[in-house]
Amino acid sequence: MTPLPVTMESEQQLFFHNYARLPLAITHGEGVWLVSDDGTRYLDMIAGIGVNALGYGDKRLVDAISAQATKLIHASNLFMMQPQFELAEKLLELSGLSKVFFANSGTEAIEAAIKMARKWAAQFGNPDKKEVVSLSNCFHGRTYGAMSLTAKPQYVNGFEPLLAGTGMINFNDINDLEEKVSNNTAAVFIEVVQGEGGIHRISQPFIDRLKELREQYNFLIVADDIQAGCGRTGTFFSYSQVNADPDLVCLAKPLGGGLPLSAVIGSDKVADVLSYGNHGTTFGGNPVACAAGLAMIDAIHKDNLMENAETVGNYINDEMQKLAAKHPQIIDIRQYGLMIGITVNKEAKYYAGKALQRHVLINATSINVIRLLPPLTISREEAQHCITTLDEILTEETAEKNC
Ligand SMILES: Cc1ncc(COP(=O)(O)O)c(C=O)c1O
């Protein structure tokens, strides 16, 4: 049988229609560039939606993966495996927390955290202490629990009923927070920097009040650092920048160096919450993914990539502010390390399409936000290429309008 060509027509024929793919067949990557099947190089400011922290082709990562694959690809959690132990130890060292659970994707980490929160809350003898709440405009994933915390109509419509006992607090609204948490709250889920929601950071007063209310009502704070974590915002965990002091932390995206891996890290408070058989997954903590994760974390530290995220991120912000002064299409810019949101006055996918024509990959989120999540290895010159391209697109748009 001749294989189908990798085209949009074949895509329509083969797959459920749940992804709005770009008409681009990628064969490989080099540094911060993706290469398509016709040999064209694209500057990648998306990095696999915040996954490819080291860009493409990092030899240390590839070597770690091949060395582990040669030894053992999978054995299951019936056994103890060195890379899993080493990665768990590393995450505990970095977080100062007590216990780790590994899964495969962000949404699975959130599911595990929801289950842990409810089981933890059950010990207090209040049958109503089951509520898990999140913040408006958030994104926590697409399985039932995570989707119920996400609750944006575009993710939820048609899939109801959602998980019972979930709720939502208006983002950064302290009055709403005070109204919505109580003795019945088991956990509050936060993204310190909302990613899919358009790059918005939680406010310090909101976090401070949340921590006070945790003292009063005894609930867990769960930091979803799936997109903002692993160095992207300039520190390994984004929550440390606002002293969120979470009880549970969820990591995924870059954690497996591009292989599927996620983790829930928990404090002493929840250390004994799970017992044998309570929760688990066949693939979670796969040794190849863990070896890749270790290589990725090592490279982030050795190459000072968190500092790079901060410096190049600040540079992009400064240059984008200059563009904003020139182009009224830019309404606002929010930048936290290399997590950057640019609000524009029309659908951001218009600019993503124009940038694609110029061989630069940018992402559109929250309708009118351009989101930049480049590899943490990006240089100032490479970032400048993206800025120059955006400048050209905005200038051309104005010229066309004035014709
Ligand atoms: C903050 C956040 N949480 C959870 C998820 C879900 O992760 P996954 O797509 O790996 O299930 C995402 C994915 O974009 C995310 O950005």
HEC profile for 310-368? HHHHHHHHHHHHHHHHHCCCEEEEEEECCEEEEEECCCHHHHHHHHHHCCEECEEECCC
Tell me, yes or no, whether 172 and 272 share the same domain: yes
Q: Which residues contact 80 (CB under 8 A, 6 or more apart)?
A: none
Domain boundary among 241, 274, 302: 302
Domain boundary among 302, 323, 338: 302
Domain boundary among 302, 317, 345: 302
* Letter string b/e over residues 42-77, b meaning 16 or more CB atoms within 10 A of that residue's CB: bbbbbbbebbbbbbbebebbbebbeebeeeeeeeee
Residue 65 lies in a domain: no
Q: Which residues, listed in sequence order, are joined to residue 102 by a DSSP beta bridge?
A: 263
Residue 3 lies in a domain: no
Whole-number Å distance, alpha carbon 170 to ligand 1 midpoint, is 20
Other beta carbons within 10 Å of 30: 12
Whole-number Å distance, alpha carbon 203 to ligand 1 midpoint, is 21
* SS3 state of residue 75: coil
pLDDT at 280: 97
> By residue range, what is the domain housing residue 395?
8-57+305-402
* pTM exceeds cut of 0.95: yes
Residue of 222, 226, 232 to test ligand 1 pocket, by largest number of atoms within 8 Å of CB: 226
H or E, element range at 110: helix 106-122
Strands 41-44 and 33-36: antiparallel
Residue 258 lies in a domain: yes
Q: How many alpha carbons fall within 13 Å on the CB side of residue 152?
A: 15
Closest ligand 1 atom number to CA of residue 143:
11
Residue 112 lies in a domain: yes
Tell me, yes or no, whether 275 and 165 share the same domain: yes
Whole-number Å distance, alpha carbon 180 to ligand 1 midpoint, is 24
Whole-number Å distance, alpha carbon 141 to ligand 1 midpoint, is 5
Q: What is the CATH number of the domain that holds 81?
A: 3.40.640.10
Residue of 148, 253, 371 to test ligand 1 pocket, by largest number of atoms within 8 Å of CB: 253
Tell me, yes or no, whether 398 and 332 share the same domain: yes
Whole-number Å distance, alpha carbon 206 to ligand 1 midpoint, is 23
Residue 114 lies in a domain: yes
Tell me, yes or no, whether 335 and 356 share the same domain: yes
pLDDT at 104: 98
Summarised one tens digit per residue, pLDDT across range 161-186 is 999 999 999 999 999 999 999 999 99
Tell me, yes or no, whether 291 and 236 share the same domain: yes
**pLDDT(378) > 90:** yes
Closest ligand 1 atom number to CA of residue 110:
4
Tell me, yes or no, whether 148 and 159 share the same domain: yes
Summarised one tens digit per residue, pLDDT across range 334-349 is 999 999 999 999 999 9
Summarised one tens digit per residue, pLDDT across range 116-173 is 999 999 999 999 999 999 999 999 999 999 999 997 888 999 999 999 999 999 999 9
pLDDT at 32: 98
Residue 1 lies in a domain: no
pLDDT at 154: 86
Residue 16 lies in a domain: yes
Ligand 1 site residues, Cβ closer than 6 angstroms: 49, 105-107, 110, 139-141, 191, 195-196, 224, 226-227, 252
Based on its alpha-carbon atoms, the radius of gyration of the chain, rounded to whole angstroms, reads 22
Strands 131-135 and 330-336: unpaired
The chain-wide mean pLDDT, for the chain, equals: 97
Which amino acid is located at 142 in the chain? Answer: R
Count of domains forming the chain: 2
What are the distances in angstroms from CA 402 to CA 91, 97, 129, 175, 399?
A: 55, 58, 60, 46, 5
Tell me, yes or no, whether 298 and 393 share the same domain: no
The structure tokens 């390390």 sit at 337
Q: What is the CATH number of the domain that holds 31?
A: 3.90.1150.10
Contact 370, 363 (CB under 8 A): yes
Tell me, yes or no, whether 147 and 232 share the same domain: yes
Closest ligand 1 atom number to CA of residue 225:
1
Q: Which residues contact 141 (CB under 8 A, 6 or more apart)?
A: 105, 106, 107, 108, 110, 111, 147, 150
Tell me, yes or no, whether 101 and 191 share the same domain: yes
Nearest CA to ligand 1 atom 3: 140
Whole-number Å distance, alpha carbon 7 to ligand 1 midpoint, is 27
To the nearest 10 degrees (0 to 180), the angle between helices 380-402 and 305-326 is 20
Structure tokens at 306: 């968190």
Summarised one tens digit per residue, pLDDT across range 205-224 is 999 999 999 999 999 999 99
Residue of 139, 248, 336 to test ligand 1 pocket, by largest number of atoms within 8 Å of CB: 139
Tell me, yes or no, whether 50 and 88 share the same domain: no
Distance CA 362, CA 195 (A): 14
- Cα-Cα-Cα-Cα torsion 85, 90, 92, 94, nearest 10 degrees, comes to -170
Whole-number Å distance, alpha carbon 257 to ligand 1 midpoint, is 15
**pLDDT(350) > 90:** yes
Tell me, yes or no, whether 110 and 193 share the same domain: yes
Whole-number Å distance, alpha carbon 20 to ligand 1 midpoint, is 17
Residue of 46, 201, 227 to test ligand 1 pocket, by largest number of atoms within 8 Å of CB: 227
pLDDT at 337: 98
Residue 288 lies in a domain: yes
Distance CA 377, CA 338 (A): 10
Nearest CA to ligand 1 atom 10: 106
**pLDDT(1) > 90:** no
The edge-to-edge listing of strands for the beta sheet with 330-336 is 330-336, 339-344, 369-372, 363-365
Summarised one tens digit per residue, pLDDT across range 224-276 is 999 999 999 999 999 999 999 999 999 999 999 999 999 999 999 999 999 99
Nearest CA to ligand 1 atom 8: 106
Whole-number Å distance, alpha carbon 228 to ligand 1 midpoint, is 10
Whole-number Å distance, alpha carbon 27 to ligand 1 midpoint, is 25
Summarised one tens digit per residue, pLDDT across range 31-82 is 999 999 999 999 999 999 999 999 999 999 999 999 999 999 999 999 999 9
Q: If you average pLDDT over residues 339-363, what whole number do you get?
A: 98
Structure tokens at 167: 């709720």
pLDDT at 403: 81
pLDDT at 151: 78
Residue of 114, 137, 140 to test ligand 1 pocket, by largest number of atoms within 8 Å of CB: 140
Tell me, yes or no, whether 84 and 231 share the same domain: yes
Ramachandran angles phi, psi of 247, nearest 5°:
-90, -30
Distance CA 329, CA 42 (A): 24
End-to-end CA distance of the chain: 53
pLDDT at 401: 87
